[in-house]
């Protein structure tokens, strides 16, 4: 009897389950239909199993109204804080959702009725570009499936309850980087067979690179380096000369308002990766194309370069304290910002690429060569009178700042992945645009300049030879008569970047070149030189030339005070020492000329000239001459960076040979002239005062004084003007009220003072910012004295107190 009854129940249940399956009903009340190994099962979630089961069996003709099956969305929660915290993007100040590719995120959707997994379908659509299409991956349509595939766009049901479902979505590690329009679509099947669709527009989603994902082409296997090169929003950019290297604090501010949107606009603006072409949009999954596009666009739409010293109609490059003000101005006006020089271009590039998730750092090369001919030599020309002759555009900059980004190089043989040089400073045109990189450090070090992406130009910057040529001019024509001097170890010095996790300089010269003069370094130069242009006049001259003195005579230079104490506003002396290292007596005529120069090495203003004739030097002897320079002789001649250069040209009387030597130095602005006075700990959302003090260290009055302050997560860039003049030795101050936006153990705040007479006066401080306190629970209602009478004990205690 039990067997017969069981058979009847099973048959009835089977018919009922088929009918329910026909209407795609998963759950009715507290019971429903599920599947296990291909068999339908009736499950019960409330007490009274048997009664519910028999009710199920005895009511096989239950129907739901067709309108009850229509799916209507009540709310779509993209769980922004949870998702962006997991993706390490929670600090971006943007209305869009920012996710890193190669990672998943969750979305919770609330409905007007229970979601029917068997009959309802949910889709997510992501579209990038003006003409998004499924065929070229610019449109992605994801249907909910059973497995979350980390290599593909995929979606699974993560959780559900009576009124909502939570889905988990996987972004592939090679997804196109950019801003996507997003749509959630639901499809419901009605009893009459009709299909209903509803499409809801959702917030834009920005997908960026993911250096935490092993399958992303920018993966960086070092958490400390990821913190430094992706998440750190301030840093140091190094400037100066080989004799004095100075850090400049820079506000990268990649998380500040409109910065990510500006970065996306920049890569959208490049015709090769623009949203108008699906073919080129696919290139935006590749960091090689992203960094190359950015290197071209930053100097062709974002910043205008200016090395003239005349900045009318814009701002001096010295006045910028970071990228934020520049990129916000570019974003708001849709116009180029005036003006920038190399460290500004590099700082902006670091901001853009870090905002997009590419590990990037600013790198400074001191004694940086600029080879305009591709000859791998930096050529200078002098005549027999010791005067410099302008026959070409080669130069050696006191310093030059570019960028490195970390990525794989699937377009090259194995071994060229890692750091790649990118340079946005407009120097030399490549394929019609000012663009440089990505050039692999490995190729640069080995002299493998044939690998493209401007690798030859970068090699010349760090490892070319400097050559002085003696020329004769006749009727406007110049003829090379001899090699005056060749230097094989004169460029590419102290290549610097900020240390990981520290506020100090890291020397990375050995990543760019082998030890100077070593067989490996000379072999790298010869390989690169073989692929160079080699102008005709060089043939035959350089084959036997090495770095050597002219007839044993050499120059040495020094300043008094020494470089570390050589300040703008002081008198100083340049010492020119001639050494006779040979075995015979030599008589030398020397002309020394002092100029103020741009940091690019270009002379700007003549300061002073000194001639020393008939200097007799015995073998192994030396003679020193001094050139004194007063403040009033150079004060009106200084230009950006306070750089100066003395060039000495010598003629050896006994042999008629000529040679020259340069010495570049800077007059430092006194470092303690700007001070920041503030509390060392602040709190998110709470106002705090920051006072900037400035003392005039020059022996002249200063006018048009402005004081600026900014810091990522602390304060947007703000400037105060100081009325009147500031006499020598006087101090002025300005107080700023700031309200921190984001917490941090060590947030930087940067102060800058600019005047008509002098600029580039900086200071910075580190400030700890605490998170805002959690909201307090509602306090219990207070009772009045009339409601509660104190006890005798309490009264006596009060009297004692």
Catalytic residues: 342, 400, 423
76 strand-pairing partners: 109
Tokens representing 14?
A: 């089977």
Q: What share of the chain is helix, strand, coil (3-state, %, to 5)?
A: 20, 40, 40
User: If you write DSSP's letter for every residue of 472-503 in order, what string do you get?
Assistant: EEETTEEEEEEEEEEESS-S-EEEEEEPTTSS
* DSSP E strands, 537-602: 553-560, 572-580, 586-597
Distance CA 424, CA 447 (A): 22
Nearest residue to 743 via CA among 774, 710, 716, 712:
712
Matching residue, tokens 């090679």: 174
| Residues listed for the chain | 801
274 strand-pairing partners: none
Q: Does the N-terminal peptide bond of residue 374 adopt cis geometry, omega within 30 degrees of 0?
A: no
598 strand-pairing partners: none
User: Phi and psi for 521 in degrees, rounded to 5?
Assistant: -65, -45
86: Cβ–Cβ under 8 A, 6 or more apart, which residues?
Answer: 103, 105
255: Cβ–Cβ under 8 A, 6 or more apart, which residues?
Answer: 91, 92, 93, 233, 355, 712, 713, 742
Helix (H/G/I), strand (E/B), else coil: 324 = helix
CA distances from residue 354 to 89, 144, 163, 323, 439 in whole angstroms, order as listed: 11, 33, 40, 12, 18
CA angle 487, 341, 754 (to 5 degrees): 120
Matching residue, tokens 């100097």: 299
């Amino acid at each position: 009897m039990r067997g017969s009854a069981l058979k009847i129940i099973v048959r009835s249940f089977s018919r009922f389950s088929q009918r329910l399956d026909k209407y795609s009903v998963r759950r009715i009340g507290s019971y429903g239909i599920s599947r296990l190994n291909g068999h339908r099962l009736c499950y019960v979630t409330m007490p009274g199993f048997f009664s519910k089961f028999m009710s199920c069996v005895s009511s096989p003709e239950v129907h739901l109204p067709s309108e009850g099956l229509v799916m209507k969305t009540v709310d779509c929660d993209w769980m922004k804080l949870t998702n962006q915290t997991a993706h390490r993007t929670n600090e971006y100040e943007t209305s869009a959702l920012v996710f890193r590719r190669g990672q998943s995120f969750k979305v919770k959707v609330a409905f007007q009725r229970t979601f029917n997994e068997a009959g309802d379908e949910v889709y997510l659509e992501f579209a990038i570009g003006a003409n998004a299409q499924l065929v070229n991956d610019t449109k992605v349509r994801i249907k909910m499936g059973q497995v979350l595939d980390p290599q593909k766009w995929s979606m699974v049901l993560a959780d559900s309850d009576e009124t909502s479902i939570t889905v988990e979505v996987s972004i592939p590690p090679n997804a196109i980087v950019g801003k996507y329009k997003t749509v959630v679509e639901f499809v419901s099947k009605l009893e009459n067979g009709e299909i209903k669709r509803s499409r809801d527009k959702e917030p834009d989603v920005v997908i960026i690179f993911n250096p935490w994902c092993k399958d992303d082409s920018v993966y960086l296997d070092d958490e400390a380096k990821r913190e430094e090169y992706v998440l750190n929003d301030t840093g140091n950019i190094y400037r100066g000369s080989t004799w004095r290297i100075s850090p400049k604090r820079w506000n990268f501010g990649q998380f500040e308002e409109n910065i990510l949107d500006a970065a996306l606009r920049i890569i959208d603006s490049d015709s090769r990766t623009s949203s108008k072409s699906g073919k080129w949009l696919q290139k935006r999954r590749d960091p090689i194309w992203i960094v190359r596009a950015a290197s071209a666009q930053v100097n062709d739409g974002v910043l205008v370069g200016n090395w003239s010293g005349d900045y009318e109609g814009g701002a001096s490059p010295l006045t910028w304290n970071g990228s934020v003000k520049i990129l916000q101005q570019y974003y708001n006006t849709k116009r180029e910002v005036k003006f920038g020089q190399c460290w500004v271009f590099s700082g902006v590039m670091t901001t853009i690429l870090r905002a997009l998730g590419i590990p990037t750092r600013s790198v400074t090369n001191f004694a940086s060569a600029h080879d305009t001919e591709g000859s791998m030599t930096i050529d200078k020309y002098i005549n027999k009178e010791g005067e410099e002759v302008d026959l070409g555009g080669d130069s050696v900059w006191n310093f030059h700042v570019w960028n490195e980004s970390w990525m794989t190089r699937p377009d090259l043989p194995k071994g060229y992945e890692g750091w790649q040089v990118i340079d946005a400073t407009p120097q030399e045109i490549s394929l019609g645009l000012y663009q440089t990189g990505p050039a692999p450090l490995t190729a640069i070090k080995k002299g493998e300049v044939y690998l493209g992406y401007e690798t030859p130009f970068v090699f010349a910057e760090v490892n070319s030879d400097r050559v002085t040529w003696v020329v004769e001019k006749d009727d406007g024509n110049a003829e090379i008569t001899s090699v005056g001097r060749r230097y094989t170890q004169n460029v590419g010095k102290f290549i610097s970047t900020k240390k990981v996790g520290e506020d100090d300089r890291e020397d990375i010269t050995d990543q760019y070149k082998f030890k100077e003069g070593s067989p490996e370094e000379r072999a790298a130069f010869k390989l690169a030189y073989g692929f160079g242009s080699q102008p005709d006049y060089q043939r035959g001259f350089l084959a036997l030339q090495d770095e050597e003195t002219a007839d044993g005579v050499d120059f040495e230079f020094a300043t008094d005070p020494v470089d570390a104490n050589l300040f703008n506003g002081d008198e100083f002396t340049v010492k020119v020492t001639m050494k006779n290292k040979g075995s015979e007596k030599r008589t030398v005529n020397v002309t020394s000329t002092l100029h103020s120069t741009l940091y690019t090495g270009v002379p700007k203003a003549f300061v002073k000239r000194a001639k020393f004739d008939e200097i007799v030097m015995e073998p192994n002897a030396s003679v020193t001459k001094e050139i004194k320079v007063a403040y009033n002789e150079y004060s009106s001649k200084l230009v950006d960076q306070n750089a100066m250069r003395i060039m000495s040209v010598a003629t050896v009387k006994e042999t008629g040979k000529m040679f020259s030597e340069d010495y570049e130095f800077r007059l430092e602005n006194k470092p303690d002239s700007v001070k920041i006075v503030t509390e060392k700990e602040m709190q998110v959302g709470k106002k705090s005062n920051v006072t900037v003090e400035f003392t005039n260290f020059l022996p002249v009055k200063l006018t048009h004084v402005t004081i600026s302050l900014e810091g990522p997560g602390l304060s947007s860039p703000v400037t105060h003007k100081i009325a009147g003049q500031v006499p020598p030795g006087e101090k002025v101050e300005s107080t700023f009220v700031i309200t921190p936006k984001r917490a941090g153990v060590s947030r930087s705040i940067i102060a800058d003072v600019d005047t008509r007479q002098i600029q580039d006066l900086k200071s910075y401080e580190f400030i700890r910012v605490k998170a805002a306190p959690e909201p307090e629970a509602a306090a219990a209602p207070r009772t009045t004295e009339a409601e509660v009478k104190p006890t005798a004990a309490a009264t006596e205690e009060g009297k004692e107190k």
